[in-house]
Amino acid sequence: MPPTKQAPTRQAITLKGSTNLVTEFFKYAANTILFQRGVYPADDFHMVKKYGQTVLVTQDLALENYLEKILKQVNKWLLTGSVTQLVLAIISKDSRKTLERWVFDINLVEQPAESAEAAPPKPESEIQAEIRNILKQIISTVTFLPVIDEPTVFNILAYTSESADVPADEWVDTDPLAIEASKSQQVKLRSFSTDVHRIEAMVAYRYEG
């Protein structure tokens, strides 16, 4: 993936900056989901000001480190452009059934053709507003997602390209933890984009109504 070709005079977001922004977004999105869906007890979370709003972030050290480790690798993949999708699956602890899949598609924004004038870089405030909207929407999904009244665990899957650099002893191939098509409902959420990445969010949940 070539780095951005934008005019250096503008306050353009570079690939690295965009990657960090996206990684940070995943951190807060994952925390929000884990809190909202009750995967971890509510009193493990504390409030943090972020994106101009309050976000609940875990203070469970083990979980914090776990997410940190994952996101570090995701960051590397984002830099090389080899990750296409991140999935946070919420799984029933007892039956190991996948109850929800929070899907974040990662697309690379196409650079405009050479003929066209380089688009003005997106201001960070606008990106933050979009991120804020996604997080708000994740919170609002509680209103229509089925109530989970059993203990759950989560898992984070990374969809990478074949050629991706994978630390062999840390990341292992796995099944997609998919929900059977006949029992799955999907809701597309908002998206946000930087100059380099475009993140599209979606939630699929088990619904046997």
Partner 1 sequence: MPPKTPSRHRSRSETKTPLTPSLVAGLNSISFASPTKGGKADITNPFISSRPSSPIKRTTTGAINVSDSLQKQARGGVIRKGGVESRLDVITRDYVPPKPSKPPKSETKRSRSQPSRDTRDRFITSRETADDVTATLDLMTLNPQSASPGHTARLAAATGVPINHRILAYHEPPPASASDSLLSQQRDLVRPLYSRPGAQSSSTPSSSSKARRISTQPEKVLDAPGIVDDYYLNLISWSCGNILAVALAENTYIWRADTGDVTHLGEVQGEEQYVSSVDFSNDGQFLGVGVSSGDVELWDIETQTKLRTMGGHSCQVACLSWNSHVLSSGCGDGSIWHHDVRVAKHKVGELLGHQGEVCGLKWRSDGELLASGGNDNVVNVWDGRVGDVASGSRGAARWTKRNHTAAVKAIGWCPWQTSLLASGGGTSDATVHIWNTTTGARLHSLVTPSQVTSVQWSPHRKEFLTTHGYPTNAVMIHSYPSMERVAEIRDAHDSRVLWSALGPAGDVVCTGAGDENLKFWRIWEVPKVKKGKDLKDVGRSSTSSTILSIR
Which positions lie near partner 1, rule CB under 8 A? 39-41, 43-44, 60-63, 66, 69-70, 73, 84-85, 87, 101, 103, 105, 107, 117, 123, 125-126, 129, 133, 137, 140, 151, 153-162, 164, 166, 169-176, 178-179, 181, 184, 186-191, 202, 204
Nearer to partner 1, 5 or 188 (CB): 188
Nearer to partner 1, 61 or 147 (CB): 61
Closest CA to 29 of 202, 205, 204: 202
Nearer to partner 1, 3 or 151 (CB): 151
Q: How far is the CB of 162 from partner 1 (least distance, A)?
A: 6
Rounded distance between C-alpha atoms, residue 168 and residue 183, angstroms: 34
Rounded distance between C-alpha atoms, residue 165 and residue 117, angstroms: 34
Q: How far is the CB of 85 from partner 1 (least distance, A)?
A: 6
Q: What angle do CA 83, 70, 157 make, to 5 degrees?
A: 55
Task: Give the single-character DSSP code of 42.
Answer: G
Q: What angle do CA 173, 198, 107 make, to 5 degrees?
A: 40
Q: How far is the CB of 89 from partner 1 (least distance, A)?
A: 9
SS3 of residue 90 by DSSP: strand
